[in-house]
Amino acid sequence: MSTRSGSTGSALRRALGSLFTRQEGQAALEFLLLIPTYVIFLLITVDFGVLMYEYVSVNNAAREGARYGATNCGSGSCAETAVRTRTIERSGGILSAANSGEITVGWIDVTTNGTGSNRNRGDSVIVRINHAYSFLFAPVGPTVPVFACADMRLERNDNAGSLPTTTAC
C-alpha cells in the first residue's frame, strides 16, 4: 500500500509542478508589461517632432518678417504692424493675431552717418518671436519657450515717419 500512495503523491506533484512551470503565457505577459513603455516613448517622440516643426516655422517666420521690413515692405515705407502681419502670415499657422504680442519688431541705427535715424540704408530691422510650446500629450505639463530672432539690413532708406527702436538679437 505504501507504493500506491507514493505513486499518487508523485503524480500529483508532477501535475502541479507542470502547472507552475508552463511558459505558454510568458510572451503575452512580457508584451503587456512593455506596451505602456512603448506607447509613452512613441507619444514623446511625436511631441518632440511637433516641437521641432514649431521651432523651424517660428524661425522661418522671423526671417521672412525681417526680410520684408528690410526691403521696406515693398512700398518704400514700412510700419511695425505690416512686418508683424507678414510674420504671422509666414508662420505656418503657429502664430496668430491673438498671440501677436509674442512678436517684437524694431529698427536699430547702426550706420554712423551722424543723422541718428534708424531709417537709413544699412540700418537693422529686428524681428523677435518668443513663443511658448505646450506639449500635446501632457496637458498639465510645462511649456517650452521657442525663441527666434532675425536681423536684416535695410536695403534702401525708409520713408516712414518714425520707426520703433529695439536692441540687437
Domain limits, the chain = 28-153
How far is residue 129's CA from residue 95's CA, in Å, rounded to a whole number?
A: 9
C-alpha 97, offset from chain centre: 19
- In tens digits, the chain (169 residues) has pLDDT values of 455 555 677 777 777 666 666 667 788 888 899 999 999 999 999 999 999 999 999 999 999 999 999 887 767 778 888 899 999 999 999 999 888 889 999 988 887 665 667 888 888 899 999 999 988 887 777 889 999 999 999 888 887 777 888 888 8
For residue 18 the three cell numbers come to 507542470
